[in-house]
Structure 1
Amino acid sequence: MSHRSRLSGFISDCKTDDLDAAADFWAQALGCRIADRAAGDETAEYQMLGDTPGDLHIEVQKVEHPSRVHLDIEADDIDAEADRLQRLGARKIAFVKRWWVMEAPTGQRFCVVRMKYPERGAAPKTWD
């Protein structure tokens, strides 16, 4: 069965006690605005940027691990996409809440998340 996926955006994981200040920095550094300071939920604290280049999804997220930037790949079938990436050499680290945390063969972490707005942005790639 085929599925679709594409780059969703970037998340700045910040080990910080002041998420507002971190989001303000990244918004100003990238020439964006804070679109939603309360974009998180009961399990995650993050803020969403707006007016992003290429309509990319960019978030600033409060985390406990060391600060880093990771990318998200969105898919209409996250299990199929995680399996496809695993066949390419990635490693499944964990299924967290509603997405897969993956690791590239070169060590970078990234997430496979559910596609929210398939009609927006670049057309998703169809995989068989």
Structure 2
Amino acid sequence: MTGHRSRLCHFVIDCADLDEGVTFWCHALGAVDELIGEPSRQVYRQLRLPDSDVRLLLQKTDDRKTSKERMHLDIETDDVEAEVERLEALGATRWDHQTERGFDFWVMRDPWENEFCVLQTTFPDLLARRTPWPT
């Protein structure tokens, strides 16, 4: 018997409007909407990130958010305030400014109130591979 393989393939984010979700997360992360078959496209949209083999999977739901997420995305940046302002222009909101244990970061919410964090550079070599956002 041969061994099997497994890997993380998706990080799933709930949203009420798939088209708005695609627009927000594609602009926020530089992602590309990948074509998936019908009828799945009515419930899901799959986004390919520019520098990862993990995909974001947007899942349509009308369920209201009721508590803090148990999982979330962290976005690293070399300019926290500039990134927060860019994401606000896309529809995100500031939720909680954290300054603890030598870190200074923002907990943000996407337009559907899903939390994600914007923090200072954690992996400088990987961040250096990204093309800067236009100013």
Normalised to the residue count of structure 1, the TM-score between the two structures is 0.46
Which one has a bigger Cα radius of gyration?
2
Going by fraction, where is strand more abundant, 1 or 2? 1
Q: RCO greater where, 1 or 2, for CA within 8 Å and sep 6 or more? A: 1
Normalised to the residue count of structure 2, the TM-score between the two structures is 0.44
